């Protein structure tokens, strides 16, 4: 094993000095049956950083993102978010699965935006945004309503609050989905190709909201095919190939001077 090259997995959290990084992948592996989808991911995202993940289809980008909030459980290795292990507790060199309640509580602090929006079709835009604060955080309905209205205003949809998802355009639905994730006041936002299901003219409005979010200091992990967005907004770009991060640097370096041949190949194809 090449264990030594990886950050060691510590048993107790709380490092000696300073606040922990927002996200730390420690040698994360994931298999579906015999297929190894993630093969030793190491990645540290500092507070307030925006990291864009790029890579070919099927390289494991979505899987990597879904491991961060425990929608997918890692086959090996661990992920820490804000110093807390996701989905497991380390004891005696083993990972002990958390209870569904504990895992749910962790997810409440991590916002996620899906490629297919996944809005609740039987709830209005406003109700979609209110759902988490009311059901999970137990916020009184009038407070939740006020927060939801503010968030819909922030994503430019104050006038669409009473509409159902099917009455909204794709771009509007995705902005509601972003507001829904923000309603839980997350410390981290995950985006899985948030603009891939959108018509080209609707992409801009969603990226605009994401850019504002980044400027407001939100820590973000974004899987995207929008190279211009990555170049402009990202602090770091990670290029994933066959389940490994083969290149990790500033956008200027990755796009201007890629070192790995697979990165060069990929960039040549998409640009």
Partner 1 sequence: MTARITAEIADDPGAAVSTLVPTPTAPLGTEPTPPGLPLVRRKHPWRLVSYALLALILAMLANSVLTNERWRWDVVGEYLFDDKVLGGLWITIVLTLGAVGVGLALGSVIAGLRMSSSRVLSIIAAWYIWFFRGVPVIVQVIFWVYLAQLYPVISIGIPFGPEFAFYDTNLLVAPIIGCIIGLSFNESAYMAEILRGGVAAIPPGQIEAARAVGMTPRQIRRRILAPQILPVVLPPFFNNVNAMTKTTAVVILASVTDLFSAVMQIGARNLQQTPLLLVATFWYLVLTAGLTLFQVGLERLVARSATRS
Ligand X SMILES: Nc1ncnc2c1ncn2[C@@H]1O[C@H](COP(=O)(O)OP(=O)(O)OP(=O)(O)O)[C@@H](O)[C@H]1O
- Binding footprint of partner 1 on the chain (CB under 8 A): 69, 71, 100-101, 104-112, 114, 116, 118-122, 131-132, 135-136, 164, 166-167, 180-181, 183-184
- β-pair type (244-249, 188-192): unpaired
**Which of ligand X, Mg ion, partner 1, none does residue 101 bind (CB under 5 to 8 Å by kind)?**
partner 1
x/- mask, ligand X, residues 29-48, rule CB under 6 A, reads ---x--x-x-----------
CA distances from 2 to 65, 244, 260 (A): 24, 14, 20
Phi, psi angles (nearest 5°) of residue 140: -60, 145
Residue 63 as a binder of ligand X (CB under 6 A): the answer is yes
x/- mask, Mg ion, residues 53-82, rule CB under 5 A, reads ---------x--------------------
Which residue of 15, 19, 58, 83 would you call a contact of ligand X, by CB under 6 A?
58
CB of 32 to ligand X, least distance (A): 3
Interatomic CA distance for residues 167 and 122, integer angstroms: 12
Q: How many residues bind Mg ion (CB under 5 A)?
A: 1
- Phi/psi-derived region of residue 237, left when phi > 0, alpha when psi is between -120 and 50, beta in every other case: beta
CB of 175 to partner 1, least distance (A): 15
Interatomic CA distance for residues 163 and 2, integer angstroms: 54
Max CA-CA distance within the chain? 57
Residue 176 as a binder of ligand X (CB under 6 A): the answer is no
**Which of partner 1, ligand X, Mg ion, none does residue 116 bind (CB under 5 to 8 Å by kind)?**
partner 1
3-state DSSP percent of the chain in helix, strand and coil, to 5: 40, 25, 35
Q: How many CB atoms lie within 10 A of CB 199?
A: 10
**Which of ligand X, Mg ion, partner 1, none does residue 120 bind (CB under 5 to 8 Å by kind)?**
partner 1
- Interaction site with ligand X (CB under 6 A): 32, 35, 37, 55, 57-63
């Amino acid at each position: 094993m090449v264990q030594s090259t990886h950050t060691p997995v510590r048993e107790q959290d709380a490092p000696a000095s300073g606040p922990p990084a927002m996200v730390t992948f420690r040698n994360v592996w994931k298999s579906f049956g015999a297929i190894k989808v993630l093969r030793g991911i190491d990645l540290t995202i500092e507070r307030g950083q925006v990291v864009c993940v790029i890579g070919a289809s099927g390289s494991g980008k979505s899987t990597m993102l879904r491991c961060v909030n425990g929608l997918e459980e890692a086959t090996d290795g661990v992920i820490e978010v804000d110093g807390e292990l996701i989905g497991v507790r380390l004891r005696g060199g083993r990972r002990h699965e958390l209870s569904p309640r504990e895992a749910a509580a962790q997810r409440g602090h991590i916002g996620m935006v899906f490629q297919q929006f996944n809005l609740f079709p039987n709830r209005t835009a406003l109700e979609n945004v209110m759902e988490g604060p009311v059901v999970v955080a137990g916020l009184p309905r009038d407070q939740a309503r006020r927060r939801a209205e503010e968030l819909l205003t922030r994503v430019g949809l104050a006038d669409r609050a009473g509409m159902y998802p099917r009455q909204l355009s794709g771009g509007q639905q995705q902005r509601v989905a972003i507001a829904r994730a923000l309603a839980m006041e997350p410390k981290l936002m995950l985006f899985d190709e948030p603009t891939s299901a959108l018509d080209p003219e609707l992409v801009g409005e969603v990226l605009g909201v994401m850019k504002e979010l980044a400027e407001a200091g939100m820590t973000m992990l974004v899987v995207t095919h929008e190279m211009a967005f990555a170049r402009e907004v990202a602090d770091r770009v990670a290029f994933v190939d066959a389940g490994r991060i083969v290149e990790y640097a500033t956008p200027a370096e990755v796009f201007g001077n890629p070192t790995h041949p697979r990165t060069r190949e990929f960039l040549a194809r998409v640009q």
